[in-house]
Chain A
Amino acid sequence: MLDLSFLLFGRGNYQIDWNKIMLKINDLHAVVGEARSQILTGLSLKVPAGEVHAIMGPNGAGKSTLSYVLTGRDDYEVTEGTVELGGQNLLDMEPEERAASGLFLSFQYPLEIPGVPTMTFLKTALNAQRKARGEEEMGAPEFLKKARALAKELKIKPDMLKRPLNVGFSGGEKKRMEIFQMMMLEPSFIVMDETDSGLDVDALRIVADGVNSLRSPDRGMLIITHYQRLLDYITPDKVHVLAGGKIAASGDADFAKLLEKEGYDKYAA
């Protein structure tokens, strides 16, 4: 296990009723793009605080779509249904407000941000969130100290933190950088979209250790993946199949093994 005890410091003094943090999706319908293709067709899902749920499902089923709907991306329009996070109506909020209220998405394809050094980006993000929550900004020394310690734990080379975010990073490096950002921002609800894809065995272990260290009674997680190998490290409380635009089946951790063996044919719409 990594020693991530330093993350416990510097959370400021704002009060959140952690017990309330929970994702509640009810009958969600969403259309995507100019063509307004119907991708989600009545998806319902509840993730209680403290639990980790996995979502599996065939390519094109709408898993990434769900992650974008949750985070409020333009072009992903909710036509029916509700989404609540910690009792707040998520769908009424701007993407940055959702982030400040604790929602984090580890992107399937992290974006390159040319010209903005990773550290500048992250410090801006962290302090923007703090400001939105009415907390005091984190000063440069504290931020640097925390970032350096975490980078070391995640085996991220210090010079990568000076480079523009994700620009020219390898696929695996980008994923590792997502985890780095996630652990710096300490979100209360985490969505990971295929964070394991493209990771070598060592990186997978580092990422999984990081994720496990964030598991806590106050935090919920939704892990989108195609592979059992990630779930070998991060044991989910529940596993769901997303097919035909909804949750087609659910089970416990062993369900993932069955899915990997049998495929999704029987859940096809």
Chain B
Amino acid sequence: MVGVMNIINQLPHRRMEAWKWTDVSRAVPEGMPGLSLAMAPRFTPPAGISVMQGEGATSDTVMGKLAANFAGQSWNFHVPANTHPADSLLIENLISGHGRITIKLEKGASLTVVEHHKGADKSFANIDMQIHLAEGAKLTRILVHDDPETATRISTASLTAEKDTKFEQYVLSFGGALFRLETRLYGKGEGIEAHMNGAYLLSGDKHTDMTSHTELSHPNCHIRQSVKGVVTDKARGVFQGKFHVEKEAQHTDAEMRHDALMLSDRAQIRSKPELEIYADDVACAHGNTIGALDESALFYMRQRGIPLAQAKALLTEAFLASVFDDMADEDMKASLMKQINQWLEASYGF
């Protein structure tokens, strides 16, 4: 057990390369609620799938180790081979404290996980998720995050993916005092297909960091990643993405994009897309843009009678929509777009 007093010293800080733009240690005052407690999540599993507490898989990240220290046992889910639960596994009440979740999909199984990350005032939350996808398994992960401006949260998911697995991830974050979403994908076989998309919409003093690390060591994997962000006021958006492609991972087709709209001079966007490629026959690309809304387009819309705020909202919504284009669940997609709309209405004021 790590003592309560020195936990702050163990939190990641900006002198660590991977955390240089997201200094957890500085955002967390001593005695912050949740800092040394176990989390009490609420799970609604699909029929036939049950929650079990147990050892769970171990994590080698800083935050994962802290979770192991304070959360105690892991909440475990197991989807048997070739099972395809019709409903999603819903995870809520991730308010404060440390939590560990382990999800295992056996051969050919599939599962959709829907997570709602929403904290309380001045709370600290650290969730570590360990996921294993056996051959041919398919996981869809949908995560919605909306914290108060005073709450700090780190959510890490590490996946090991075997041959011919599919992973789809859609994240929508409205920020918190500090939010770090980290996705770590370790390819352990050929033919993995992963789509990892996310959008962050930040106003006020909020901060969202979307970091991902993808490691491929087998041929014929197909990765698509698109993160889009909108920052206003003094908000800060961070994107860090890395594709690590080993020599054996020939014919990898991987593309990473980060596109952000900066709607205020005081807002910040930091981004670091990285490709580390050792294979010689691959198609890997990354793109990164930071821009503003097109003034001419805005004028054109206003000339047609659309008020400025609404014109901005329409253009912003159109900019973000592609992130969720490929979602199979239309109701879920509509619900995410609705939340985006509500944010736009509140933030642009119309």
Tell me the A residues contacting B by CB distance below 8 Å: 71-74, 94-96, 98-100, 104-105, 107, 110-116, 120-122, 124-126, 128-129, 132, 164, 181, 185
Contact = CB atoms under 8 A, between A and B. Distances in A.
Interface stretch (B92-100, B192-200, B293-301): B293-301
B308 interface: yes
A125 B304 CA distance: 6
B300 A185 contact: no
B321 interface: yes
Q: Which 10 A-B pairs have the closest CB atoms?
A: A115-B318, A99-B305, A129-B305, A95-B302, A125-B304, A111-B300, A96-B302, A125-B305, A128-B305, A96-B307
B9 interface: no
Interface string B315-326: 101110110000
Please classify how large the interface on chain B is, using the bins under 10, 10 to 19, 20 to 34, 35 or more.
20 to 34
Given A115-B318, A115-B319, A116-B314, A94 B305 contact: no
Contact of B302 (A94, A113, A116): A94
27 contacts: A94-B307, A98-B303, A99-B304, A100-B305, A107-B300, A111-B294, A111-B299, A111-B300, A113-B300, A113-B301, A113-B318, A115-B318, A115-B321, A116-B314, A120-B314, A121-B304, A121-B306, A124-B310, A125-B306, A128-B305, A128-B306, A128-B307, A128-B310, A132-B305, A132-B307, A164-B318, A181-B304
A129 B303 CA distance: 10
A111 B296 contact: yes
B302 A124 contact: no
Contacts of A122: 304
Classify the secondary structure of B's interface with A. Answer: helix
A113 B305 CA distance: 15
A74 B303 CA distance: 12
| A100, A110, A113 interface centre (most CB from chain B within 10 Å) | A113
A74 B305 contact: no
B235 to A, nearest CB: 22
A105 B303 contact: yes
Contacts of B302: 72, 94-96, 99
Contacts of B303: 71, 95-96, 98-99, 104-105, 107
| A115, A120, A126, A164 interface centre (most CB from chain B within 10 Å) | A115
Nearest to B300: A111
Contacts of B317: 115
Interface string B276-315: 0000000000000000001111011111111110100011
Contacts of A94: 302, 307-308
